[in-house]
Amino acid sequence: MKQSASQINNYFKQMDGCIRICRVPGIILAVAVSIHYLSVGRTFGANSSPGGIAGSDPELCYLNHTAMIWGAVIVLGLLAAIIGLLLKISTERKQAAKILEEKTQELEQRVQERTLQLSESNRLLREEVAQRSKAQEEIGWLNDDLERRAHALENANNELEAFSYSVSHDLRAPLRHIEGFSRLLLEECEAALDVNGREYLDRVCKATRRMALLIDDLLKLSRVTSGSLNCQYFDMTRIATEVVAELRELHPERRISCTIAEGMEAWGDPHLLRIVLANYLGNAWKYTSKKDEATVEFGCHDLDGEHIFYVKDNGVGFDMTYSDRLFGTFQRLHHANEFEGTGIGLATVRRIVNRHEGRTWGVGEPGVGSTFYFALPITPPTELPRDAKPHLS
């Protein structure tokens, strides 16, 4: 388009030049004719008589005719040149007009095509905006539904915890009565009882004690999920040392080689995380009871922004096929006749660690041992749980 405009501009420049060229011969012709007639008029005036016009001189007549012929030739030549220039200018002007029309049509076609493209883009944009608006509405509905479900789940959990706490308290008194009267029968009526009777009462006492332990664990589980967090930096090594000392006092007959890493620290609720250590270390003590040379190790390493604590033992271990059951409530991988327990300890551990935005898992091999892990963030979370109380010491 720029090239066409330049050509048209050149054509108009050529037309202007032609007009300028035509002006020069026209002026020269006018001057020549004026000079000729002035010369002829003077000659006639000098050779004429007072009564008429002189015209009898042949030489003068020849010159006059010659001048008229050359003047006519010059005029015709100039007219031919001017006509040729005008024809050329007219032809070039038509060509320029044709090029201009073609370029105008081409430009209009491009504008039309671009307009269609923009119309299609606007249509697609409107469809995308409509789809996004619809998606946002659906997301809003889903968020509202999720919020309602979360609220309902929270209410259900609160009611379940309240129910567990209430039932646990209500069951304590009947259990105490059952165990108390069973012991009285064993102590005061032992002579009147045969072997089967004493065995039955002994089973009743053991069952009530187990039930009491189960209630205590349920109460602990209820407390760790409903109480507030009192988070701070604390010495994990010191707490682990205290827990191991308590285990040694409870089982003085055991000879266990226990190693605890030095300098371990963590951010969290010391009271709740002490329960985690008591469960992990207590399980290590329990499941190594059949080993003559038992070893327990408590350590830590850092990875991807987490303190990863672990308790490793050389006890009976477990089959990894059932690892997904480890931290479930009332889930046990060993029979109660082999190792006592209620199946609530690891569920309590998971709930405590989850409240600290951490993770729990375990690995093991039957007859070789097991390693149980819990991971806590190295730095305090940017947003603590609503019931957490930040505290540094």
**What are the structural domain ranges in the chain?**
2-122, 228-390
Q: Which residues of 50-77 are buried (b: 16+ CB within 10 A; e: fewer)?
A: eeeeeeeeeeeeeebeebeeeeeeeeee
Residue type, 13: K
Beta strands 256-260 and 294-303, pairing class = parallel
Amino acid type, 71: G
- pLDDT score for 290: 84
Q: What is the enclosing helix (H) or strand (E) of 379?
A: none
| Amino acid of residue 385 | P
Report the C-alpha dihedral over residues 20, 26, 31, 37, rounded to 10 degrees: -170
Residue pair 273/239 in contact by the 8 Å Cβ criterion: yes
Strand 256-260 with 306-313, pairing: unpaired
Q: What is the pLDDT of residue 31?
A: 53
Per-residue pLDDT of the chain (393 residues; tens, 9 = 90+): 555 556 555 655 655 555 555 555 555 555 555 555 555 544 444 444 444 444 456 776 777 777 778 777 777 777 788 888 888 888 888 888 888 888 889 999 999 999 999 989 999 999 999 999 899 888 989 998 888 888 887 777 777 777 766 766 777 778 778 888 888 887 887 777 788 888 888 888 888 877 777 777 677 767 776 667 888 999 999 999 999 999 998 888 888 899 999 999 999 999 899 999 999 999 899 888 888 889 999 999 999 899 999 999 998 888 888 778 788 766 666 666 666 766 778 888 998 999 899 999 999 988 889 999 999 999 886 544 444 444 433
Radius of gyration of the chain (CA): 57
Instruction: Judge contact between 280 and 349, C-beta under 8 A.
Output: yes
Alpha-carbon span 79 to 31, nearest angstrom: 17
User: The tokens of 197 are what?
Assistant: 């009777």
What are the contacts of 77-81 at 24+ separation with CB within 8 A? 78/25, 78/26, 78/29, 81/25
Task: List the end-to-end C-alpha distance of the chain, in Å, as a whole number.
Answer: 79
Residues 240, 260: contact at Cβ < 8 Å? yes
Q: Distance of CA 77 to CAs 21, 67, 87, 191, Å?
A: 14, 15, 15, 163
> May I ask the CATH architecture of the domain 228-390?
2-Layer Sandwich (3.30)
Verdict on whether the full-model pTM lies above 0.75: no
The helix (run of H) or strand (run of E) holding residue 308 is strand 306-313
- Mapping DSSP to helix (H, G, I), strand (E, B) and coil, where does residue 251 land? coil
Residue from 25, 109, 37 nearest 68 by CA: 37
